[in-house]
Structure 1
Amino acid sequence: MEKGAILKVNNLGISFTQYTKGLRRQELKVIDNLDIELYEGEILAVVGSSGSGKSLLANAILGILPENAALEGDIYYKGGPLYQRDKEKLRGREIALIPQSVNSLDPLRRVGEQIIPSIKNRKERDKIIGNLFQKYDLEKEVINYYPHQLSGGMARKILLATALACDAKLIIADEPTPGLDEFSLKEILEDFRELTDRGRALLMITHDIKAALMIADKIAIFYAGTTLEIAAAKDFNGDGNRLRHPYTKALNQARADMKFLPIKGTQPFPSKLPFGCLFSDRCSVKSERCQNERPELRLLRGGKVRCFNAT
């Protein structure tokens, strides 16, 4: 482990056991060769379309994959292997999750009852909750609301407050921004930056590359269950000519504030992956090698890329 790395994922693979007609058992691999590393004081944004493996990565780190899932590869936390028993011990304490679904709130418990367990300092609980409510423009009486009394935006703010109230060293934010108005979005992203400036680490899982680029130090691009590129956020500046992978370049150009140029084709399903490079069917610079061999993630110009032709 490099100095300062709080989380490292090497060659992560996740498969699910399924039963087809006739009770035939099969293994469906949905993630393969997925790699990231995250350092203290850093925000790493994981960007990819639906089905690219973003949320499964979060579940693997937290140890909350379903029973029919099989995990391969290595996950390290603070320099040591992160086993299932460690995940169960650390989650909600040193590793906090801001979940994607507002349904994660317990419908039978009041809002305050769900935030309080995250705060270790009992004497400061009221003050901490009061500050968070004021920050997110929530009225004091909301603390006594049940989740069904919250709007979607309010519920999202409560999930954020619950995670930010604890002293976690690693925060995983799974799609934390949907449903937020522009002011709240800006404020929450600033809060994330403030947390990492104090030495915490944040893994931000998102479809919103624009929001990611506002605060992230690095961007990891996921595609069909693997990592195609890890680049500094500044590499997306201008026309993105410092980017390495054809997919990352295309994704950058498809942003609404860029040329908004889509590319043909779609991300392949796990059961219909190309034999070679996962992006080869859509790539304009592919070679014969790309169609017959799966590239490894390699260092290139200060970033990492999984492409034979990247220069």
Structure 2
Amino acid sequence: MNMLEVNDLSISFIQYSNGLRQKNIRVISDLNVAIKTGEVLAAVGASGSGKSLLAHAILGILPNNSRMTGTIKYNGEVLTPERQADLRGKEIALVPQSVNYLDPLMQVGAQVRNGSKNKEAVIAQREVFSRYNLASHVERLFPFQLSGGMARRVLVSTAIVSGARLVIADEPTPGLDAVAVKETLDFFRELANQGCAVMVITHDIETALKIADRIAVFYAGTTVEIASAEDFAGQGDELRHPYSKALWQALPQNRFEPIDGFQPSSNELHGGCLFAPRCSIATSRCASVLPAAREVRQGMVRCIYAS
């Protein structure tokens, strides 16, 4: 069963220039993704590809100048703004990318306990801190007194004690040492094994593959492929989209071949395949219409030539 379903999601922002001239900038286009109960889905892509924006849309924390179309469902029901507010921080939890999400005026232990539905919130918080090698006195510290790695472990602790059923982790491992990275990933895997749905947002395919069941590849504001983690092997022959293959082959342990060109910015998007200007197999057909999402070999892809 899908715990989360995102269908045909598009997000744009209204901006003003030259006085009162209004401009509508689309940053996410026709994005589709779903996460099953008990699954870890990794959202992988370059900065600016829409991964974090998707997380904010799910939680209902987009800026006021945003406009959204499409549907987001949680447990089969549409996530209205009212339902998002009710579930946010309870059944749906975010491990944010920036440690600035921590309240600078509150001790971190109290912040973690505030998100707990457990009557024994203090015990739950201390158990999690102990598992993350956060000393007992850390709960009395304020965010400015933490190192970057400590602050990130506090953020992860907040999601773990919340009892959430859907956990979205936005770049949860930067600043952590190798041991803490493994422990953090293991916790997310453990949450999924206990019946939660977990989305891990990262630019690092290697990190994602350590725990993910499926990988959603983002490019310029849409999903270009959703594939099983097992498809990322060898030279990437099982992958369906040219961008996914290029990302895989750019890794040092593979061909270490860089991708020519750059991901287009939101004001440079056109009506055709967004990857076409950088794609070695693109033809004139690719320039006219954004390819529809379709199923190919038990995966999703947006490429008219995928087979």
For the aligned pair, the TM-score class normalised by the smaller chain equals: over 0.9
Counterpart in the other structure of 2:72? 75
**2:294 is aligned with 1:298:** yes
**1:221 Cα shift?**
0.5
**1:256 Cα shift?**
2.5
Counterpart in the other structure of 2:97? 100
**2:187 is aligned with 1:201:** no
Counterpart in the other structure of 1:275? 271
Q: Distance in 2 between matches of 1:125 and 1:22?
A: 51
**1:274 Cα shift?**
3.1
**1:168 Cα shift?**
0.5
User: For the Cα contact (< 8 Å) 1:274–1:280, is it kept in 2?
Assistant: no
**1:270 Cα shift?**
1.2
**2:36 is aligned with 1:39:** yes
Q: CA offsets per residue over residues 126-158 of structure 1, 9 Å max, x none?
A: 321222111111100001001110000000000
User: For the Cα contact (< 8 Å) 1:274–1:281, is it kept in 2?
Assistant: no
Counterpart in the other structure of 2:222? 226
**2:305 is aligned with 1:309:** yes
**2:184 is aligned with 1:178:** no
AA at the equivalent of 2:3: I
Q: Distance in 2 between matches of 1:214 and 1:240?
A: 17
**1:74 Cα shift?**
0.6
| 1:123-162 correspondence to structure 2 within 5 Å | 124-162=120-158
**1:239 Cα shift?**
1.7
Q: Distance in 2 between matches of 1:64 and 1:120?
A: 22
Counterpart in the other structure of 2:246? 250
Q: Distance in 2 between matches of 1:22 and 1:114?
A: 42
AA at the equivalent of 1:93: K
AA at the equivalent of 2:37: E
> Which sections of structure 1, spanning at least 5 residues, go unmatched?
none
User: For the Cα contact (< 8 Å) 2:72–2:78, is it kept in 1?
Assistant: yes
Q: CA offsets per residue over residues 52-94 of structure 1, 9 Å max, x none?
A: 0011100100000000000110101101111111000000000
DSSP-derived class of the 1:202 partner:
strand
| 1:12-23 correspondence to structure 2 within 5 Å | 12-23=9-20
User: For the Cα contact (< 8 Å) 2:118–2:124, is it kept in 1?
Assistant: no
Q: Distance in 2 between matches of 1:120 and 1:271?
A: 43
DSSP-derived class of the 1:185 partner:
helix
User: For the Cα contact (< 8 Å) 1:33–1:226, is it kept in 2?
Assistant: yes
Q: CA offsets per residue over residues 27-55 of structure 1, 9 Å max, x none?
A: 11111011100000000000111110011
**1:260 Cα shift?**
1.4
DSSP-derived class of the 1:165 partner:
helix
Q: Distance in 1 between matches of 2:288 and 2:36?
A: 35
> Which sections of structure 2, spanning at least 5 residues, go unmatched?
none
Counterpart in the other structure of 1:118? 115
AA at the equivalent of 2:12: S
User: For the Cα contact (< 8 Å) 1:17–1:26, is it kept in 2?
Assistant: yes
AA at the equivalent of 2:217: I
The alignment covers a number of residue pairs equal to: 307
Sequence identity (%) = 53
Q: Distance in 1 between matches of 2:166 and 2:280?
A: 38
Q: TM-score, normalised by structure 2?
A: 0.98
Q: CA offsets per residue over residues 178-197 of structure 1, 9 Å max, x none?
A: 10100000011011111100
Q: Distance in 1 between matches of 2:121 and 2:84?
A: 26
User: For the Cα contact (< 8 Å) 2:43–2:202, is it kept in 1?
Assistant: yes
AA at the equivalent of 2:138: V
Q: TM-score, normalised by structure 1?
A: 0.97
User: For the Cα contact (< 8 Å) 1:174–1:206, is it kept in 2?
Assistant: yes
Q: CA RMSD in A?
A: 0.9
Deviates more, 1:26-35 or 1:150-159: 26-35
Which of 240, 251, 259 is the aligned partner of 2:255? 259
Which of 285, 288, 303 is the aligned partner of 2:284? 288
**2:154 is aligned with 1:163:** no
Deviates more, 1:156-165 or 1:267-276: 267-276
DSSP-derived class of the 1:250 partner:
helix
**1:166 Cα shift?**
1.2
Q: Distance in 2 between matches of 1:98 and 1:229?
A: 24
User: For the Cα contact (< 8 Å) 1:236–1:242, is it kept in 2?
Assistant: yes
**1:285 Cα shift?**
0.6
Q: Distance in 1 between matches of 2:238 and 2:111?
A: 44
